[in-house]
Amino acid sequence: MPSRPPITVLLASPRGFCAGVDRAIQIVERAIEKYGAPVYVRHEIVHNRHVVDRLKALGAVFVEELDECPVDRPVVFSAHGVPKSVPAAAKDRRMLYLDATCPLVSKVHVEAGRHFDAGREIVLIGHAGHPEVVGTMGQLPDGAVTLIETVADAQTYQPRNPANVAFVTQTTLSVDDTADIVGALRARFPEIAAPHKEDICYATTNRQEAVKTVAGRADVLLVLGSANSSNSVRLAEVGLRSGAKSYLIDDADGLDFGWIEGAKVVGVTAGASAPEVLVQGVIDRLGERFAVTVEEVDAARETVTFKLPKALAG
C-alpha cells in the first residue's frame, strides 16, 4: 500500500462557538430540561444545520413566526434578535418566552434607540433580510432606519439633515468591507455619530483575524459553517482575499479532495455557530488520504461569557 502524502493542517484559533451562540444553545437545552418537550424556537436558534438538527432531536420545534407556536408552550427567540413587535405579541398572548438574543446584538438595539431618541437619522450597515438586520430595524418605527449594504449605497444615501446622522452595524460583517463603507459615510458626513465601541462583535473580528493569519500560509482554506451563516460566509471571503482558495462546507461530507490536489498546507476554521466536532470530522477525513500534521495557529484568546436568563439560571 503506498504511503500517504504528508499535509499540514493549520487550525485557526479562535474558531467555532462564540459566547453568544453558546448561551443561545444552552437556553434551548435548559428550557427543554425545565419545561419538557416541545419547546418552540422562533427562527433557527443559530445558523447551523447540525446544531438545529441536534436540538430538534432533544425536543425543540423550529418555526418562522410566533403565530405557529401554541400559547401553552415556551418559545425561545433566536440569537439574532427580534423586532419589538414579537415579544409584544407574545405578551399579548400570555406566552412564556425566553430571549436568546446575543447581548452584543442587544447592545446595537440600545444604541439605535438612543440615536432615535436624540432625533438622529440612523443608518444600519448590514445585509438585507438577515434576521439580525430585521430585528434591529424592528426596534424602531418604520422608516427610522436606512439600510446601507455597500459603498455605493453610502455614496448615494440622502439624509434630511447631513449634520445629524448616526450609524450602527450588523455584528457579523466583514471587518474590512465595513471599514470601507464607514469611510465612505465619514467622507460625506464628517459629523456622523459612531458606536462608542465597534459593533462588529469580538468573535467575528477575532475569527477573521485568525483566518488572515492562516490563509497567508495555506494553499486551501476550509471553513466549517452553513451557507446561511453570515459570519461563516465572511470567513470564506476573508480567506480568499488573503490568498487561499477558500471553501465553505457544512461538514466533512462536503469536502472535495479535488480542491486539495497538490496542496501542502490546508487551513481549517469554523464559523461562530459551528460545533468543534465538525472540525475534528474534517481532520479525520483528511487523515484517510494524507499523513496529517496539525498545527494550532493562535490569533487571540477569548474569555467572554454571557449569563443565562434568570428563569433558567442555577
User: With 70 as the cut, is the pLDDT of residue 18 above it?
Assistant: yes
**The pLDDT of residue 8:** 98
Would you say residue 212 lies in a domain? Answer: yes
Q: For residues 284 and 215, state if they share a domain.
A: yes
3-state secondary structure of 42: strand
Q: For residues 94 and 162, state if they share a domain.
A: no
Number of residues assigned to the chain = 314
What is the span of the domain harbouring residue 120?
103-188
Q: What is the pTM of this model?
A: 0.95
User: Which amino acid appears at position 175 of this protein?
Assistant: V
**The pLDDT of residue 200:** 85
**The pLDDT of residue 3:** 83
Beta strands in 107-217 (DSSP E): 121-125, 145-148, 165-169
Mean pLDDT of the chain: 96
| β-bridge mates for residue 222, sequence order | 247, 268
- 2: confidence class by pLDDT, cuts 50, 70, 90: low
Q: For residues 95 and 112, state if they share a domain.
A: no
Number of domains in the chain: 3
Q: For residues 165 and 216, state if they share a domain.
A: no
User: With 80 as the cut, is the pLDDT of residue 1 above it?
Assistant: no
In tens, the pLDDT along 111-148 reads 999 999 999 999 999 999 999 999 999 999 999 999 99
Would you say residue 194 lies in a domain? Answer: no
Q: For residues 87 and 141, state if they share a domain.
A: no
Would you say residue 313 lies in a domain? Answer: no
Which of 44, 111, 121, 132 is flagged as catalytic?
Answer: 132
Question: Given 138, 166, 188, which residue is the final one in a domain?
Answer: 188
Q: For residues 165 and 231, state if they share a domain.
A: no
Question: Given 162, 188, 214, which residue is the final one in a domain?
Answer: 188
The percentage of residues in the chain with a pLDDT greater than 70, rounded to a whole number, is: 99
- 60: confidence class by pLDDT, cuts 50, 70, 90: very high
Q: For residues 207 and 272, state if they share a domain.
A: yes
The Cα–Cα gap between 153 and 134 comes to 18
Annotation says 132 is catalytic = yes
CATH of the domain at 147: 3.40.1010.20
User: With 90 as the cut, is the pLDDT of residue 197 above it?
Assistant: no
Q: For residues 157 and 94, state if they share a domain.
A: no
Q: For residues 225 and 294, state if they share a domain.
A: yes
In the chain, how long is the greatest CA-to-CA distance?
74
Mean pLDDT of the region 24-34: 98
Q: For residues 288 and 218, state if they share a domain.
A: yes
Cis peptide preceding 2, ω within 30 of 0: no
Tally of CB atoms within 10 A around 163: 10
The Cα–Cα gap between 194 and 190 comes to 11
Question: Given 99, 117, 147, which residue is the final one in a domain?
Answer: 99
Tally of CB atoms within 10 A around 184: 18
The Cα–Cα gap between 62 and 122 comes to 32
Would you say residue 314 lies in a domain? Answer: no
CATH of the domain at 77: 3.40.50.11270
The Cα–Cα gap between 247 and 244 comes to 9
Selected residue with higher pLDDT from 86 and 3: 86
Tally of CB atoms within 10 A around 38: 16
